[in-house]
Structure 1
Amino acid sequence: ADNGGAVAALRQVNHLGPTDSPCPLTVNQLFRVTKANFVDASAVETLLPEEATAQLYRCFDDWPSFLSAHRNYFASMGGTIGQVRDIERLKIRDAPLEEQLEFAYQRGMHQKVRALRRKIRIQQMPDNPLLERENLAKAVAEFLPPNRSVKLHRFMLDLPRELSDLFPREFRKFLKSFPELFQVFEYRYPNNLHIMRAGLPLPDGVIRGTYDELSVVACVVRVLQVRNSLDSSVLFSRLPEGARDMVKSVYNGLHHLLSLYPDNFVLVGSHNGDRNERYRVTLVSVPAKLIDSMNTTTSAPDDSSVPTDARDNPWHAE
């Protein structure tokens, strides 16, 4: 075959994924059709666009060699093809809670860890008064500093296990559902979450909480000015929380927003804009709308270059 050399080389690879696969369309489409689902291996090609199948055969001899090269993500089981994470979950779902918890720890499944710790704690103390949301929130609030904010991550780690184990999976939403007790906000740069008692004045450097289309695009540009090209999930995670919420609620994902700016952003590997689709975003140029509204030389702060003054921080609330 014309691509025999490429196929021979790829046979030796067993860790390809959405961002480094020579078949990004195939990978994304296979993620789509196997989402929480196992498909008949003999019929999988009928579920994929023709170009996705053609892309696979340009690089691999057959499906087994493709699956072997992408074994961290896909696998065959009993004549079906599914996602590795779903297969692993099937194997562990009937195990004791303690074994499920260990599995979740090993896989870095943080939300699952919280859910299992809560289940185990409830199993141990089914009549615990802290199972009432209001009681838990009031008990947690007692551990907040009296007159300043603290990193949310640090605060959670310092809480007694009898409290933190009872937190629901979406613990941020839980805290934000009690505005009379807590203020949760991003401080100085995205994802740097702080928490403080309700009623205290917010510190300088709090990141704005609401965004319109142009301000979200400005955030995307700032991130991509540091790393010109990023995986879509990484890019999304580096946006401020308010910007992420706006993208999800209004555009159902970054794809639909950035597709409005085809001259400024290139999306490689995106097919249908599904929110869970993985693709690569590259900044080509700053949208003309932003030229007059932002300093194009400003770069997004990261963990290694936190500004020393909130007034110099392009993320802070205005």
Structure 2
Amino acid sequence: MGKQDLELHRRGYELIHVPAGKDSADVKMATVGSSIFVHYPTAREVFVCSSDKVLTHLCNTLQTHGLTVYSVCKQGSKMRVFNNQNGDYQIHSLIPQAEIPSLEEFIAQIQDLITKEQKNHQNHWIKLSKLSQLYKNKYNLTITQVVTSHFPGKRARDVFLEYPTKFVTHQPLEQSEIYITLFTQLPAESATDASSPPTEVTVQDTASSQINSRTDLEQSIVKIVQSLTAQSPGSYIDISRVGGEFKRQYGQTINETIAWLQLKVKYVTILQSCSALQVKQKGKVHTVALNNG
């Protein structure tokens, strides 16, 4: 066994040699294991690392002596630990879990994947499912794992709505898949006419100069819903998408605007009280559509 022998001894394992033969190792395990409570009277739990049914008798014997017995077996790249007493089990990965990147690193990783995918396939929009698979293949992590770590309770799609200056999302229909692309600012000068004056692009830093009342806020939200559902009139969209677009346009979130206006109401309450909108709730998710009635 070479270095493995030395390493096992260093970790406190006692190696037992048996000659080759059918079930020779299993019989020896059962013989030694059945008296383990004699040699280790303070032991309370025993792990039997084998998937061979022959050792079921050993497990039963140990249980009769008051020991909690776990059957351990390998399944591909995972290890299954089964509690023989109550039937509970746990699955552990044998592949080291990748470290969760910082939020800045994660955003940069996603931007890099989108850029490469766009170049490879000449397609501006990337499906979220495709992006998730690319991320899993490269970093051995899911987007959901990273998002949950930094934004507990949020879904994978929500992280893109949190960064409207970096990503743009598109969902043609309420039940269809979400598409992601990078938010890129148009160049200030025209590439075809260098002598023409630069096009001035104004970005509104806050909503305060445009939204001064609850009515203003409702009207701005209605316009956003109308814009997001233009391709599918009457469809419902997640209110988080509306919030993301609002932040992109006005430079602050709807909740920040509500606080600035001192309205003392929730975002969803604003939507529900607006006669131009209809709101539905499914579980913890709220969706909104234009009220065409």
Q: Taking structure 2 as the reference length, what is the TM-score of the superposition?
A: 0.28
Higher strand share: 2
Task: Identify the structure with bigger relative contact order (alpha carbons < 8 Å, sequence gap 6+).
Answer: 1
Q: Taking structure 1 as the reference length, what is the TM-score of the superposition?
A: 0.26
Whose Rg is larger? 2
